[in-house]
Amino acid sequence: MSKKVNIDWENLGFDYIKTDYRYVSRWKDGKWDEGKLVEDNKLSISEASTALHYGQQCFEGLKAYRTKDGKIQLFRPDQNAKRLNKSCKRLLMPEIPEEKFIDACIQVVKANEHYVPPYGTGATLYIRPFVIGVGDNVGVKPAPEYLFCVFCVPVGPYFKGGLTPVNFTVSDYDRAAPEGTGGVKVGGNYAASLLPHELAVKKGFADCIYLDPSTHTKIEEVGAANFFGITKDDKFVTPKSPSILPSITKYSLMHVAKEYLGMEVEERDVYIDKLDEFKEAGACGTAAVITPIGGIEYKGDLHVFYSETEVGPVTKKLYDTLTGIQFGDVEAPEGWIVEVK
């Protein structure tokens, strides 16, 4: 590490810290410019930008990991590039070529190398790419110009306690409509989740669970993470629906469960009144990694899975294998790891 920074790596939360460099590229007259690293963390945009009024913006979240031998690596950045482009398409924004996306992430990580937490602290460098519609525009229509930016922040666990189980409550609100934008990573979904999240926290829960917006009978999302359950006969089960954000962590865990742990894997409906089928449950995502679900409160009753205080053995194995791959201790499937050189 070239430069020393004064950060208590072991006690990092999930909070903004200004790092040294970020990447900005502008789309104008039908094309993206080269893009460059800048030191200023403020954007200057038109007051009439579509991102500000009509939510024409989307984002991604991925991480850079420090390995035991001091290398830095990204986990499946091609999948984030693909998902960002799905979000762009849905909101009529220009797509980012995959190589440009990965190159921008690599440039930002390299330029902020001393912010990549040391191996063994459990902390990582969170990378936040985003696309926003900018330029002068008042009517509801796509923006005349766009910015593609990437910044990064060193982070610890999203839910305090790491692998300690937390409890969730089922929300009466929906985060997305049945054929709306739930399946893409756009700001509006998150704006809609702020109130339900706050209500859940006030009730003493880590976050809330959203049910399917059509029938309110099936689990969709656990806050900003996907749900998985382990059945009593050791199947890895996770919900399927067009209004769930397709979690890269979830699809990676499905692969790990099947190919590394020899489990059966099912992507299908998970009914909120049939939680008894699971002996363990968890929330998964880039930020959450795997957060064991202690219990789920629904209509006044708390359904406890494995334990409210201890992680279950299958969840632990999934966590160890996935984080082992991410930190370079377990051999990764081909194409999952991109080294930052």
Ligand X SMILES: Cc1ncc(COP(=O)(O)O)c(C=O)c1O
Q: How far is CA 91 from CA 57, 111, 318, in A?
A: 8, 31, 35
Assigned token pair, 197: 């999240």
Residue 105 is a binding residue for ligand X (CB under 6 A) = no
Helical H segments across 43-97, by residue range = 50-53, 77-90
Q: Are the C-beta atoms of 172 and 165 separated by less than 8 Å?
A: no
Q: Considering beta carbons, is residue 7 or 199 the nearer one to ligand X?
A: 199
Contacts with ligand X, 256-295, as mask; x by CB under 6 A: -----------------------------xx---------
Q: Give me the least distance between CB of 29 and ligand X, in Å please.
A: 32
Residue 165 is a binding residue for ligand X (CB under 6 A) = no
Contacts with ligand X, 167-186, as mask; x by CB under 6 A: --------------------
Task: Tell which one of 249, 291, 315, 323 touches ligand X (CB under 6 A).
Answer: 249
Given the residues 185, 218, 232, 316, the one annotated as active site: 185
Neighbours of 278 (CB within 10 A): 23
Task: Tell which one of 238, 247, 321, 323 touches ligand X (CB under 6 A).
Answer: 247
Contact window for ligand X (CB under 6 A) among 124-132, 248-256, 295-303, 313-321: 248-256
Distance of CA 70 to the CA centre of its chain: 24
Distance of CA 138 to the CA centre of its chain: 32
Look at residues 293, 240, 242 and name the one whose alpha carbon lies nearest to residue 251.
240
Contacts with ligand X, 59-78, as mask; x by CB under 6 A: --x-----------------
Q: Give me the least distance between CB of 327 and ligand X, in Å please.
A: 16
Q: Give the binding-site size for ligand X (rule: CB under 6 A).
A: 12
Query: Which residues make beta-bridge pairs with 278?
Result: 231
Q: How far is CA 197 from CA 194, 244, 308, in A?
A: 5, 17, 20
Site for ligand X in 206-225 (CB under 6 A): 221, 224-225
| Sign of the four-CA dihedral 180, 184, 190, 196 | positive
Helical H segments across the chain, by residue range = 50-53, 77-90, 98-111, 187-202, 248-255, 313-326
Q: Is 185 a catalytic residue?
A: yes
Task: Tell which one of 248, 256, 275, 337 touches ligand X (CB under 6 A).
Answer: 248
CA distance 268 to 108: 38
Residue 57 is a binding residue for ligand X (CB under 6 A) = no
Q: Which residue is nearest to ligand X (CB)?
A: 285
Contact window for ligand X (CB under 6 A) among 165-173, 196-204, 247-255, 320-328: 247-255
Task: Tell which one of 116, 211, 245, 272 touches ligand X (CB under 6 A).
Answer: 245
CA distance 87 to 57: 9
Catalytic residue numbers, as ranges: 185
Q: Which residues of the shown chain bind ligand X in the complex (CB under 6 A)?
A: 61, 221, 224-226, 245, 247-250, 285-286
